[in-house]
Every structure is written in structure tokens, then in C-alpha cells.
């Protein structure tokens, strides 16, 4: 991959997840860094409005710092080990963290939303889909979601472990084009440059390359929990849904704007699978389908030849029992699978909606929901 291709990865990215660590947000634990948060907020706002290239982008901020800010407000100089003390610090610090982002983004004319997640939210199908729908709605409204782990209610068994992992999972959740991890290092080195003067900078590598894990050191700060190894593993995880990752110094001037303009900054860990290919391959590889819907000739033709979504009005029957978010088969009248995809409705609801137009959904279900049974973005044709 040449330099132009490397730079183009971020330049072409429409949906970005930006993760910033505790040591940057809190200026190594001295309290929320108002200037730094103001700078990131200015850049986020510029990206939403169109940036230097005039192309509006959707951005999500995953921000550490609640526990570190809580420690500062409580007068603690050492990160506590007891889970209830960490939860108390998070509860205190989250107030200041959310207020700071709200103030700085509002100063730049952009709205913000606080979203607190736990591992359980993303492990449960219904909560996963609800979180995804909420985030995509916020992005569509031009709002910047500010996400943090809900440290106040989690325990060690259900923690993400670090916000690098959370950033990658959010990138998977919203199918982001890229994950940008802002840290206190310029990027990835072959060894820890704070200990090894011979360490060489890594400009670009393949996400998931085992050699990267071998060269990464441990956590480097007493304030946060992550280290370079968590960033490499996060990049590997993000690549699973087709998102490339950049690891860069968070205090680099206009780092987000320059990255999206195509400038090569930090370390780029390139996903080897395109975003749409990753999602569709995942659906195609499902060996156990929970159920199926049968469609008429008109619906089958629209799926096969026009790339349309599947609407309930084109469905003639529902087979099996499945939940919202399951991968189901779509079959024609002869029983041949023509496609498969993620269903927006459970089987019981789908049976009510067969042959019905979308204006009748609210009366049938008691609520207004998606007009599609399977959206075209979540559908893969058989044999493709």
C-alpha cells in the first residue's frame, strides 16, 4: 500500500469513532483538561459541518476520564482497587466529564449526547440493537454522542476492561469506517520508546498482524488502564467489521482534521476486509438460521435485480421462531433461498405484517417501527 492509499483511508471515511484516553482528558490526572477537550470538540464540530473538504462526517467520541476526574474531585491521588470505590469515583467524575463536553461542543454549535454502555448492553441482542438504533439516530440528527463505560454499575466480570476495547466495539456497533485512538504517544513503536532509545516508529501495518502484539508494551500510565497492547487488540477487533484504526498523539495540532484531509499521522493499522464485505460475509457464514420468510415474485425480483430492501407487503409466509436481529433466510415461492439478512421484526410480529403496507404497522403492532423487514444494508444475496 503506497502513501496515497494509506492517507486515503481516513480521507474517505464517512463515519468515525474517536477514542481519547484518561491521561489526555485529565492532563495526567490533574483534572479535566479544558483546553484539550475544547480543541477536540472544535475539530469534531468541524467534521460534522464538513471540515476543510466540505464533506460532512458522522463522529462519535469515546472518552475516558470519569474515574480520573472523580479521583481528583475526591482528593484521591492513587487509583483505588476496590470496585465500589471505582464506581463512586466514576459517579462523581461523570458529572464533570459530560458537562465539559456539552459546554465545549455547544460553544462550537454542535449538540452532544451522553451514552453510558456496559458489556451486557452489547452482549444482549435487543439492547445491542437498541443502542445501535439510538446512536444512528443521534448521528442522523448531527449530534455527537459522547460514550463512556457505565463504571457506576459494572463489576469486573462485565467490564470492557478499557476504553480502547469499548471504542472498537462501538466501531463494530455502528459499522464505522475508521477508529481513531488518541493517546499520549505519537503512535506505535517496535518497542517502548520511553525505555528503549532504539525503538523504531511503525507508520503502517495490517490490523491483526501477530507481530504487532509481540512488540507492544504494557500499560504506561497510573491514571488509565490501557496500554499499547490494548490499542493493537482494539484495532484487530475493529478490523473485524472492516474499520481501519489510526493511533496518534492526542495533542497533535488539528490531528482529526488533518487525518480526514488525507495527511498521514501516527500509525495506521489497516483492515484487510472492506466494511460491507465483512458484514455480508458474517451473514453468509451463518450455519444455523433461526427461521425464514417466503416472498412473492415481485419482492424476489426487487431483491435479486434492483438491490431493494425487503418490505413486509411482499412476504407471503413466515417460518420458524426468531427474534429481532436474528439472521433469517429469504426464500421464493419454490423454497429456494434467494437471500439472507438481519430481521427488524421477531417472527410473531412478522406474521402480523405479512402482505401489509407500512402505514398499517402502528395499528397492528401498537408502535411505529422500521418500514423494512430486512434493510438492504443488512442483506446479502445467495451466491454473492
Residue 159 annotated in ligand binding: no
CA distance 349 to 365: 7
Q: What angle do CA 202, 60, 265 make, to 5 degrees?
A: 25
CA distance 343 to 326: 6
If DSSP states are collapsed to H, E and C, what string results for the chain? CCHHHHHHHHHCCCEEEEEECHHHHCCCCCCCCHHHHHHHHHHHHHHHHCCCCCCCCEEEEEECCHHHHHHHHHCCCCCCCCHHHHHHHHHHHHHHHHHHHHHHHHHCCCCEEEEEECHHHHHCHHHHHHHHHHHHHHHHCCCEEEEEECCCCCCHHHCCCCHHHHHHHHHHHHCCCEEEEEECCCCEECCCCCCCCCCCEECEEECCCHHHHHHCCCECCCCCCCEHHHHHHHHHHHHCCCCEEEEEECCCCCHHHHHHCCCCCCEEEECCCCHHHHHHHHHHCCCCCCEEEEECHHHHHHHHHHCCCECHHHEEEEEECCCCCCEEEEECCCCCEEEEEECCCCHHHHHHHCCCCHHHHHHHHCCCCCCCCECHHHEEECCC
Cβ(40)–Cβ(100) under 8 Å?
A: no
Torsion sign over Cα 340, 343, 348, 353? negative
Residue 64 annotated in ligand binding: yes
Residue 23 annotated in ligand binding: no
Residue 273 annotated in ligand binding: no
Residue 183 annotated in ligand binding: yes
Residue 184 annotated in ligand binding: yes
Which residues are annotated binding-site positions for ATP? 19, 183-184
Which residues are annotated binding-site positions? 19, 64, 151, 163, 183-184
Which residues are annotated binding-site positions for substrate? 64, 151, 163
Amino acid at each position: 500500500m503506497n502513501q496515497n492509499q494509506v492517507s486515503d483511508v481516513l480521507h474517505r471515511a464517512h463515519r468515525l469513532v474517536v477514542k481519547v484516553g484518561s491521561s489526555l482528558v485529565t492532563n495526567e490526572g490533574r483534572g479535566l483538561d479544558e483546553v484539550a477537550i475544547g480543541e477536540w470538540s472544535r475539530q469534531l464540530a468541524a467534521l460534522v459541518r464538513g471540515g476543510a473538504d466540505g464533506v460532512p462526517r458522522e463522529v462519535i467520541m469515546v472518552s475516558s476520564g470519569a474515574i480520573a476526574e472523580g479521583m481528583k474531585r475526591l482528593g484521591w491521588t492513587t487509583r483505588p482497587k476496590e470496585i465500589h470505590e471505582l464506581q463512586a469515583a466514576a459517579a462523581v467524575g461523570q458529572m464533570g466529564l459530560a458537562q465539559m463536553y456539552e459546554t465545549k461542543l455547544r460553544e462550537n454549535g454542535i449538540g452532544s449526547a451522553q451514552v453510558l454502555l456496559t458489556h451486557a448492553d452489547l452482549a444482549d441482542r435487543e439492547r445491542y440493537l437498541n443502542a445501535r438504533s439510538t446512536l444512528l439516530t443521534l448521528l442522523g440528527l448531527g449530534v455527537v454522542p459522547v460514550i463512556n463505560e457505565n463504571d457506576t454499575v459494572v463489576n469486573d466480570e462485565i467490564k470492557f476492561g478499557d476504553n480502547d476495547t469499548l471504542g472498537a466495539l462501538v466501531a463494530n456497533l455502528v459499522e464505522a469506517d475508521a477508529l481513531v485512538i488518541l493517546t499520549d504517544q505519537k503512535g506505535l513503536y517496535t518497542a517502548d520508546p520511553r525505555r528503549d532509545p532504539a525503538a523504531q516508529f511503525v507508520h503502517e501495518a495490517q490490523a491483526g498482524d501477530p507481530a504487532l502484539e509481540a512488540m507492544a508494551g504494557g500499560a504506561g500510565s497510573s491514571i488509565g488502564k490501557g496500554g499499547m497492547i490494548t490499542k493493537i487488540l482494539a484495532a484487530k477487533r475493529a478490523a473485524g467489521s472492516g474499520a481501519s484504526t489510526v493511533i496518534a498523539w492526542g495533542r497533535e495540532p488539528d490531528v482529526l482534521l488533518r487525518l480526514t484531509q488525507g495527511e498521514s499521522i501516527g500509525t495506521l493499522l489497516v483492515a484487510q476486509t472492506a466494511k460491507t464485505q465483512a458484514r455480508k460475509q458474517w451473514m453468509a457464514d451463518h450455519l444455523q438460521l433461526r427461521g425464514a420468510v417466503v416472498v412473492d415474485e415481485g419482492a424476489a425480483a426487487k431483491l435479486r435485480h434492483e438491490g431493494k430492501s425487503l418490505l413486509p407487503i411482499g412476504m407471503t409466509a413466515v417460518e420458524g421462531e426468531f427474534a429481532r436481529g436474528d439472521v433469517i433466510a429469504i426464500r421464493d415461492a419454490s423454497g429456494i433461498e434467494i437471500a439472507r439478512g438481519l430481521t427488524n421484526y421477531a417472527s410473531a410480529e412478522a406474521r402480523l405484517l405479512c402482505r401489509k403496507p407500512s402505514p398499517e404497522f402502528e395499528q397492528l403492532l401498537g408502535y411505529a417501527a422500521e418500514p423494512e423487514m430486512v434493510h438492504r444494508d443488512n442483506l446479502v444475496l445467495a451466491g454473492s
